A and B are shown apart, each in its own frame.
Chain A
């Protein structure tokens, strides 16, 4: 395996790890009520 390929694999692992961190912290970045709470709000409104 060439050096370039190894660096590419390392870059891919880092990208996937960063994306995983983003997905796990989505609630902090985009805090919203859950779908169930949104539906509850709709029911209360009617």
Chain B
């Protein structure tokens, strides 16, 4: 950790740039996806309205009705919009987070070329994006199932949802550890004595921010926003640099 602090101290400009790129990612993500999300909601609402009329008369065959003559064009448009949303998310994520990670690996002493790193980052994220899509589909199915089950058995627990959340968390952590080396299995090659402290530190910072910010918010909302943003992105980039240092030799060890 002390070594990471020294690296940051010697590369303050790069560290600040990585933070700015991270913040810009969230602004860009909102800008590029807000209209598409609105369109998806509008199309989903239209389909639901039309389906509710049809299902009132014929309560079975939901999937079949999605492709009835007057609903099919809207279903196809909805499908295309969802694909577009995932594609734009992937491109924006690769550009901004790839750049941010490149800066943090530079701070940690790596000498990857920007273009080579970005291409490798885009390649590895094809796998993580596929995992994310599978997670979203399963999440949708399990949430729907839970809502329906709750109507029959009031006190039912969402065990499936909890297991899926744990799997998604593991996917996220695996992806995070893959970014410094651009190799998917880095988390599993990193000794536990190196990876566990990083995961615990990340969780601890997250919990600390969750407790601290509401207290500051009670005094001043703007201060909470500024302090929260500064703390969050500084912490994220600190952990990125530390992870890069911790994983630098895991694929070359004998």
Contacts and interface: CB of A to CB of B under 8 A. Distances in A.
A26 B115 CA distance: 30
Contacts of A2: 113-114
Contacts, number: 60
A32 B46 CA distance: 9
Contact of A5 (B81, B91, B115): B115
Interface size class of B (residues with CB under 8 A): 20 to 34
Contacts of A12: 95
A8 B49 CA distance: 46
A32 B77 contact: yes
Contact of A33 (B35, B46, B118): B46
A39 B35 CA distance: 18
Given A5-B114, A38-B49, A42-B49, A32 B91 contact: no
Interface stretch (B36-44, B124-132, B178-186): B36-44
B67 interface: no
Nearest to B45: A38
Nearest to B43: A32
B42 A34 contact: yes
A38 B43 CA distance: 8
Interface of A: 2, 4-5, 7-8, 12, 15-16, 19-20, 23, 26, 30, 32-35, 38-39, 41-42, 45
3 pairs of A and B residues whose beta carbons are closest in the complex: A38-B45, A8-B115, A42-B49
